[in-house]
């Protein structure tokens, strides 16, 4: 049951991010391009699994994009709002389809397997 909630939570965050993206009339071409750019963080796995997990988790945790979302609204930077919505949506999309935060033991060993 908790795994279902993680999937649903990701779905809600993904849809909400896209909704606010649309409400701000941002470019969908930019969205489609940037939606997958955050997966470049997998490059850390070239070094080793531990570095890979750390780099991947930094880019796939809500900490940075939600902080940037808040900052973008405080100082009114539209481009930062756009990127933070896409980034948040990317993480939500990953959770929706079952990709989770990585453990140091391997790329396929995620927090979804522990729930």
**In the chain, domain spans:** 2-110
The residues, any chain, with a CB within 8 Å of residue 85's CB and separated by 6 or more, are 17, 20, 21, 24, 26, 69
Q: Which runs of E-coded beta strand occur in 1-115?
A: 102-103, 106-110
Burial of 97 (0-12, 13-18, 19+ CB in 10 A): exposed
> pLDDT 10s digit of each residue in the chain, 115 long?
888 999 999 999 999 999 999 999 999 999 999 999 999 999 998 999 999 999 999 999 999 999 999 999 999 999 999 999 999 999 999 999 988 877 777 666 677 666 6
Question: Do the Cβ atoms of 84 and 59 come closer than 8 Å?
Answer: no
| Predicted TM-score (pTM) of this structure | 0.92
- The neighbour count for residue 39, using CB atoms within 10 Å, is 14
């Amino acid at each position: 049951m908790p795994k279902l909630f993680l999937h649903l939570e990701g779905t809600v965050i993904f849809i909400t991010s896209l909704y606010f993206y649309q409400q701000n009339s941002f470019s969908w071409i930019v969205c489609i391009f940037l939606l997958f750019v955050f997966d470049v963080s997998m490059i850390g796995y070239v070094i080793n699994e531990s570095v890979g997990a750390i780099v991947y988790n930094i880019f796939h945790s809500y900490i940075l994009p939600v902080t940037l979302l808040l900052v973008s609204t405080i100082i009114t930077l539209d481009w930062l709002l756009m990127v933070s919505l896409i980034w948040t949506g990317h993480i939500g999309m990953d959770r929706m389809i079952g990709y989770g935060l990585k453990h140091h033991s391997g790329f396929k060993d995620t927090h979804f397997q522990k729930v």
